[in-house]
């Protein structure tokens, strides 16, 4: 797979093809598999994503600690806010739904990771539903998301323990922004700008889950990550360009992650986890590993 | 090389790709070292595994892996209870390994009948893993291929002998790495193969007089 998004964008432009087609053909060559085979795997991922969205919307799931669960259903049936009835609110609900399923040890697609698994299904299936976009285009979008994620994995990190939450929900937002931009008709160059615009908004984001549980704030970080992805999409589709090239934005995310204090890298030693209430909830709710 | 399908995946039981799915895969590989569900397992957790493992279900995931559950198996949620019924006697401990050890590292000691092994492995993020030590020897096993690992005396023709056994069983070698600490010292071989070799292949390799030990590890990723 590509190591620089700029190279992929250049190749797609030169060949006059979509980034999805380029990503699928590159993956097929790299792995010695057919494009159809890869599309079929992505289609299965899409089905699991949809299943998680639906499962989480029911509102009956709770995590082992009881700290999270039931909030996705509130967005579906609760009182209206200023965004009621818009795709924006629907995307937020979907993001919470998938992440509530994840926190309850349900089945999700770790794309790119389990902690950031809500953003991609929320943004892609939410916008596809709003725009009556079919499954083939969704599978293409997942291929673009995979391309962007692969570049981030090569140049920076996709691990909260290595790079903080910017490497999980931040990377997910960047992937979703780029993928949805092409799904909605954006050019390869616009995909690059959408990716950069989303990622710049999450730079420095720490990974600070209460008691180390992938629950709080993780569930909500998927909602805010989705909102940032929507921002990147809306701006890029309107023709806004981000002046720092996307690969440099990815590089700096990796640099920030590498220099981030260990307290902010999934250790529950800092951030929200270290607030008085965060510590108290962790003490009260944390399921301890049993020695036996 | 990063695969697109590694990024859009795996399909897994939550909540953490590194602390749950990756941990499960480490358990699956440790299981392979004793050829089935161990009777006893001691799992030492380092770094972020030690500090946040309980919240991520790392204990359930490793125990589930030791019992052969894959990362998308919903039984992982109840793995500790199932372990008690399955005769897996486990103990978890927090430890501190080397300063440069990856934050998500576990040392797993397993026993089954007369077989026992100690494995050190890390979960690198996004469900990817790397086994870095088996029975005190530095190794690199990613679990993305069926793998044979062995320690042999540094004798001439060792690679050819192993390759011949694999060829006779119709097994294609994808990658082969040979390392040794010093000339004449023990040589360490990691052989990644396309098809899962049977126990007979491992047994045949073990009967070679200059082979100290050999393990067969399943493909657990990709």
Per-residue pLDDT tens for A68-100?
999 999 999 999 999 999 999 999 999 999 999
Q: What is the pLDDT of residue A289?
A: 44
Q: Do A150 and B10 touch (CB under 8 A)?
A: no
Q: What is the pLDDT of residue A291?
A: 45
Per-residue HEC secondary structure of B82-149 comes to HHHHHCCEEEEEEECCCCCCCCEEEEEEEEECCEEEEEEEEEEECCEEEEEEECCEEEEECCCCEEEE
Q: What is the CATH number of domain B4-135?
A: 3.30.1330.90
Q: Per-residue DSSP letters for A83-112?
A: TTTSHHHHHHHHHHHHHHHHHTT-EEE-SS
Separation CA B66–CA B188 (nearest Å): 25
The answer, yes or no, to whether residue B122 has pLDDT greater than 80, is yes
Separation CA B208–CA B158 (nearest Å): 10
B124 and A CB contact within 8 Å: yes
Residues 6+ positions from B222 with CB-CB distance below 8 Å: B3, B5, B6, B144
CB A198 within 8 A of CB A176: yes
On average, the pLDDT of chain A sits at 95
Share of residues in chain B with pLDDT > 70 (%): 100
Share of residues in chain A with pLDDT > 70 (%): 98
CB A126 within 8 A of CB A157: no
Q: What is the pLDDT of residue B126?
A: 74
> Number of helices and strands (H, E) in chain B?
7, 11
Q: What is the pLDDT of residue A290?
A: 45
CA geometry: angle at A255 spanning B133 and A182, to 5°?
Answer: 100
Strand, helix or coil for residue B47: strand
User: Which among B3, B77, B124 is the nearest to A1, CB-wise?
Assistant: B3
Residues of chain B neighbouring A289 (CB-CB closer than 8 A):
45, 53-54, 58-59, 92
Backbone angles phi, psi at B124, to 5 degrees: -90, -5
The answer, yes or no, to whether residue B142 has pLDDT greater than 80, is yes
Q: Do B15 and A102 touch (CB under 8 A)?
A: yes
Question: How large is the average pLDDT for residues A137-163?
Answer: 96
Q: What is the pLDDT of residue B49?
A: 87
- For the segment B157-213, what is each residue's pLDDT rounded down to a tens digit? 889 999 999 999 999 999 999 888 777 788 889 999 998 888 889 999 999 999 998
- For the segment A260-286, what is each residue's pLDDT rounded down to a tens digit? 999 999 888 999 999 999 999 988 877
Separation CA A176–CA A228 (nearest Å): 10
| Residue whose structure tokens are 């690969």 | A247
Nearest one of A100, A60, A110 to A214, comparing CA atoms:
A100
Residues of chain B neighbouring A288 (CB-CB closer than 8 A):
54
CB A121 within 8 A of CB A57: no
CB A94 within 8 A of CB A82: no
Class level of CATH domain A5-285 = mainly alpha
Q: What is the pLDDT of residue B222?
A: 67
Question: How large is the average pLDDT for residues B137-161?
Answer: 91
* Element housing B177 (H / E): strand B173-180
Per-residue tokens: B206: 């073990």
Give the count of beta carbons closer than 10 Å to the beta carbon of residue B102: 24
Q: What is the pLDDT of residue A287?
A: 53
Tell me which residues of chain B, numbers 146 to 165, contact chain A at a CB-CB cutoff of 8 Å. none
* CATH 3.30.70.260 in chain B, residue ranges: 146-217
Among A155-159, A203-207, A253-257, B106-110, the range scoring the smallest mean pLDDT is: A155-159
Strands, sheet with B40-47, edge to edge from the N-terminal-most edge strand:
B89-95, B40-47, B104-112, B115-125, B128-134, B137-141
For residue A217, say if its preceding peptide bond is cis, omega within 30 degrees of 0: yes
Residues of chain A neighbouring B124 (CB-CB closer than 8 A):
159
Residues 6+ positions from B173 with CB-CB distance below 8 Å: B163, B166, B191, B192, B193, B194
Separation CA B47–CA B18 (nearest Å): 13
The answer, yes or no, to whether residue A155 has pLDDT greater than 90, is yes
Identify the band that residue B50 occupies on the pLDDT scale cut at 50, 70 and 90.
Answer: confident
CB A5 within 8 A of CB A192: yes
CA distance A212 to chain B (A): 4
Q: What is the pLDDT of residue B182?
A: 74
| Residue whose structure tokens are 């909500």 | A220
Question: How large is the average pLDDT for residues B109-127?
Answer: 93
CA geometry: angle at B142 spanning B136 and B178, to 5°?
Answer: 60
Residues of chain B neighbouring A159 (CB-CB closer than 8 A):
18, 124-126
pTM given for the model: 0.85
Backbone angles phi, psi at B60, to 5 degrees: -60, -40
Q: Which residue has the higher pLDDT, A214 or A9?
A: A9
Domain B146-217 classified CATH 3.30.70.260? yes
Residues of chain A neighbouring B92 (CB-CB closer than 8 A):
289-291
On average, the pLDDT of chain B sits at 91
Which of B55, B79, B80 should we substitute to test contact with A (largest number of A Cβ atoms within 10 Å)?
A: B55
User: Which among A30, A105, A113 is the nearest to B17, CB-wise?
Assistant: A113
CB-facing half-sphere around the CA of A57: CA atoms within 13 A: 14
DSSP state of A33: -
CA distance B121 to chain A (A): 16
- For the segment A100-143, what is each residue's pLDDT rounded down to a tens digit? 999 998 999 999 999 999 999 999 999 999 999 999 999 999 99
Percent helix / strand / coil, chain B, rounded to 5: 30, 35, 35
Give the count of beta carbons closer than 10 Å to the beta carbon of residue B154: 15
């Amino acid at each position: 797979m590509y190591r620089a998004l700029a190279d992929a964008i250049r190749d797609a432009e030169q060949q006059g093809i979509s980034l999805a087609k380029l990503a699928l053909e590159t993956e097929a060559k790299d792995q010695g598999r057919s494009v159809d085979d890869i599309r079929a795997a992505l289609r299965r991922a899409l089905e699991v994503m949809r299943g998680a969205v639906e499962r989480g919307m029911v509102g009956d799931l709770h995590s082992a600690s009881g700290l999270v669960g039931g909030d996705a259903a509130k967005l579906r049936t609760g009182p209206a806010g200023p965004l009621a009835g818009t795709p924006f609110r629907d995307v937020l609900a979907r993001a919470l739904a998938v992440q509530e399923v994840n926190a309850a040890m349900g089945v999700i697609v770790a794309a790119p990771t389990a902690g950031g698994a809500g953003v991609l299904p929320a943004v892609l299936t939410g916008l596809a539903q709003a725009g009556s976009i079919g499954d083939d285009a969704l599978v293409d979008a997942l291929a673009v998301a995979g391309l962007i994620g692969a570049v981030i994995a090569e140049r920076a990190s996709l691990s909260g323990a290595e790079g903080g939450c910017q490497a999980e929900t931040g990377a997910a937002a960047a992937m979703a922004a780029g993928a949805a931009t092409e799904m909605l008709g954006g050019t390869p160059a616009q995909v690059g700008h959408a990716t950069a615009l989303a990622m710049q908004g999450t730079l420095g984001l720490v990974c600070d889950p209460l008691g180390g549980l992938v629950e709080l704030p993780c569930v909500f970080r998927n909602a805010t990550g989705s909102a940032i992805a929507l921002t990147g999409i809306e701006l890029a589709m309107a023709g806004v360009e981000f002046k720092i090239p996307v690969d440099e934005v990815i590089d700096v995310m990796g640099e920030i992650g590498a220099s981030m204090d260990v307290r902010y890298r999934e250790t529950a030693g800092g951030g929200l986890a270290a607030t008085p209430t965060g510590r108290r909830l962790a003490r009260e709710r944390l399921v301890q590993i049993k020695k036996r | 090389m990063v695969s697109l399908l590694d990024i859009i995946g795996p399909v897994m039981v939550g909540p953490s790709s590194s602390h749950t799915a990756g941990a499960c895969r480490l358990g699956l590989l440790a299981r392979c070292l004793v050829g089935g569900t161990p009777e006893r397992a001691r799992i030492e957790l380092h770094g972020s595994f030690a500090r946040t493992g309980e919240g991520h279900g790392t204990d359930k995931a490793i125990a589930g892996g030791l019992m052969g559950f894959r990362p998308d198996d919903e039984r992982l949620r109840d793995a500790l209870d199932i372990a008690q019924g399955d005769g897996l006697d486990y103990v978890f401990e927090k430890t501190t390994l080397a300063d440069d050890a990856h934050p998500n590292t576990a040392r797993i000691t397993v026993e089954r009948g007369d077989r026992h092994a100690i494995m050190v492995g890390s979960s690198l993020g996004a469900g990817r893993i790397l086994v870095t030590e088996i029975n005190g020897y530095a190794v690199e096993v990613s679990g993305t291929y069926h793998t044979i690992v062995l320690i042999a005396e540094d004798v001439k023709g060792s690679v050819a002998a192993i390759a011949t056994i694999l060829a006779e069983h119709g097994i294609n070698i994808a990658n082969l790495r040979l390392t040794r600490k010093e000339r004449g010292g023990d040589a360490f071989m990691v052989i990644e193969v396309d098809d899962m070799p049977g126990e007979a292949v491992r047994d045949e390799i073990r009967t070679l007089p200059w082979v100290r030990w050999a393990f067969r590890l399943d493909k657990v990723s990709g």
